[in-house]
Structure 1
Amino acid sequence: MATTTNGDLNNTAAERTRTEIEIDPAYHRTSFAIPASEDDASIRETYRPFLLPDTHSNNDWISHLELSTTLKMVESQILKTSSDRLKVLVLYGSLRQRSYSRLLAYEASRILFRLGCDVRIYDPAGLPVKDDIRHSHPKVQELRDLSKWSDGHVWVSPEQHGNLTAVFKNQIDWIPLSTGSVRPTQGRTLAIAQVSGGSQSFNTVNSLRILGRWMRMFAIPNQSSVPMAYKQFTEEDAEEGGSRMMPSGNRDRLVDCMEEFVKFTVVMRPCFEVFGDRYSERVERRKKKEEEQRLVNKVDLKEM
């Protein structure tokens, strides 16, 4: 009997049939960014340090990206329905003067901002080390308020000693794991990225993914890991505003991640309450109510 072989080593024959989505030229150079005239001035100054002067807008590589599919989703499902813009909190994990995780976070934020998101970056400088005392510290309250406000998070951490930094983990530790039976980050979407000083590594994004799962967030399948980050950005006084990510497959992957993050968030935000509903928590709430009612009945009997 003749032996038959399938030379398809990647098993592409098992792939689901996909329809190629056509590029819509009507969205060329389109931006749904919040204009300064409609933005809150204090929010813009405090939480949008990634914004570039108008003089760089025509040369900005992000303004030239082909993002028609996602732009159409945002327009049809958010802007034209008068829904709130997607609210995105961006966290980074370094306090260095030239922090590559911050620079990557800025680039990610610029992509999201063009896609119509309300993007806010939290500055971790001044956040105290996690303890059980300083819950009322202004930086702690600011972080918690931003997390509560958000529909999704973008996490960018350097890799240090083979894992995420203390600066980044400290921010996550200050976000409460639970308020009652519900985790404050439950149901939110999450995009993750890391920068490394050396060769390619995935230790940090793997740890970030574990953290996100523990916080009951929906981490998108894609992720960004940027090796030798010191080679990936232009100098501070270069074109396009300086400290911009240079063309590479790593930059393309970052765009992929932000585009995918917006798509997932657009689809999942209307189902936020559904994803936050769990059998075990319904049982816990019912038992709590029964116990409260039992105590009320006990008091009523004593007063009779």
Structure 2
Amino acid sequence: MLHVDPEALHMPDASRLVTPSSSHPPRILLLCGSLRKVSYSRMLTQEAARLLQYFGAETRIYDPAGLPLPDDTTPDHPKVQELRELSIWSEGQVWTSPERHGAMTGVMKSQIDWIPLATGSIRPTQGRTLAVMQVSGGSQSFNAVNQMRVLGRWMRMITIPNQSSVAKAYNEFDPDGRMRPSAYYDRVVDVMEELLKFTLLTRDVTGYLTDRYSERKETAAELEKRVNLTSAV
């Protein structure tokens, strides 16, 4: 049996899909899961940023150096605030991690853990597009990207279908840190192009795409409660 409160449902309004189109360049935040001086995941992140800029996006790369462990300090720490403000600024994100012990790194996970699902009425990740990439020291694996996909869904992000996993990364970059031509490089181009397409398609309607019946119902109940309290005074 279908249990739906008609008054709280508020059927989806397709007219909300017709909105003024943003004219500024797509804003993409890139997170890297390594602190090493010679970091192939950072090189891959920088390569992705160059591609995104070539496609017309505005990019910012967050430096995780100095970011404390989650719960080791308060959210007003400068590095935490910087990360959260960049996430709010972004319309899409790229997460790139090395694979370590068959998983993403703690550096990558700490950055994601410091970003809340909501801060008051502000949602730093919900509705934003996401691309995930990883580098491996050995044969190709997809453990890190699969984990980040789970986190992307948990953070209510639009995780694009394509992804990149670069095996034996030490062979894929030249001494200047640029990615050598290869099938791996072609895949990175594909992923960044797809991320930009999804961002352009969704950034003006994320409020509509992420609007949920359960949340509307909770909001209506809270509003009714406040009205009742005001009437009783």
Q: TM-score scaled to structure 2, two decimals?
A: 0.88
Alignment match, 1:142: 82
Is the Cα contact below 8 Å between 1:158 and 1:164 reproduced in 2?
Answer: yes
Provide closer, same or farther for how the CA distance between residues 200 and 91 of structure 1 changes in structure 2, counting only shifts above 3 A: same
Shift of 1:86: 0.3
Across the aligned residues of Structure 1 and Structure 2, the Cα RMSD in angstroms comes to: 1.6
Alignment match, 2:181: 247
CA distance in 2: counterparts of 1:255 and 1:133, whole angstroms: 38
Match of 2:159 among 219, 232, 236: 219
Greater Rg, structure 1 or structure 2?
A: 1
Is the Cα contact below 8 Å between 1:183 and 1:215 reproduced in 2?
Answer: no
Provide closer, same or farther for how the CA distance between residues 82 and 267 of structure 1 changes in structure 2, counting only shifts above 3 A: closer
Q: Are residues 1:279 and 2:219 paired? A: no
Shift of 1:229: 0.7
Match of 2:43 among 103, 107, 115: 103
Tell me the amino acid that sits aligned with residue 104 of structure 1. L
Shift of 1:298: 2.1
CA distance in 2: counterparts of 1:119 and 1:181, whole angstroms: 25
What is the aligned residue count? Answer: 214
- For the residue of structure 1 that corresponds to 2:98, the secondary structure is strand
Query: Deviations for 1:53-96, whole angstroms, at most 9, x for unmatched residues?
Result: xxxxxxxxxxxxxxxxxxxxxxxxx9xx7711100000000000
Shift of 1:277: 1.0
Is the Cα contact below 8 Å between 2:137 and 2:167 reproduced in 1?
Answer: yes
Provide closer, same or farther for how the CA distance between residues 182 and 139 of structure 1 changes in structure 2, counting only shifts above 3 A: closer
Is the Cα contact below 8 Å between 1:224 and 1:254 reproduced in 2?
Answer: yes
Q: Are residues 1:184 and 2:124 paired? A: yes
Is the Cα contact below 8 Å between 2:88 and 2:123 reproduced in 1?
Answer: no
- List runs of 5+ in structure 2 lacking aligned partners: 1-19
Shift of 1:127: 0.4
Alignment match, 1:295: 229
Structure-to-structure mapping, 1:92-131, within 5 angstroms: 92-131=32-71
Shift of 1:211: 0.4
Shift of 1:202: 0.4
* Paired-residue identity, %: 59
Is the Cα contact below 8 Å between 1:181 and 1:281 reproduced in 2?
Answer: no
Match of 2:94 among 154, 157, 162: 154
Is the Cα contact below 8 Å between 2:22 and 2:204 reproduced in 1?
Answer: no
Query: Deviations for 1:175-207, whole angstroms, at most 9, x for unmatched residues?
Result: 012234774311110011000011000001000
Provide closer, same or farther for how the CA distance between residues 128 and 199 of structure 1 changes in structure 2, counting only shifts above 3 A: same
Provide closer, same or farther for how the CA distance between residues 291 and 82 of structure 1 changes in structure 2, counting only shifts above 3 A: closer
Tell me the amino acid that sits aligned with residue 153 of structure 2. R
CA distance in 2: counterparts of 1:233 and 1:134, whole angstroms: 38
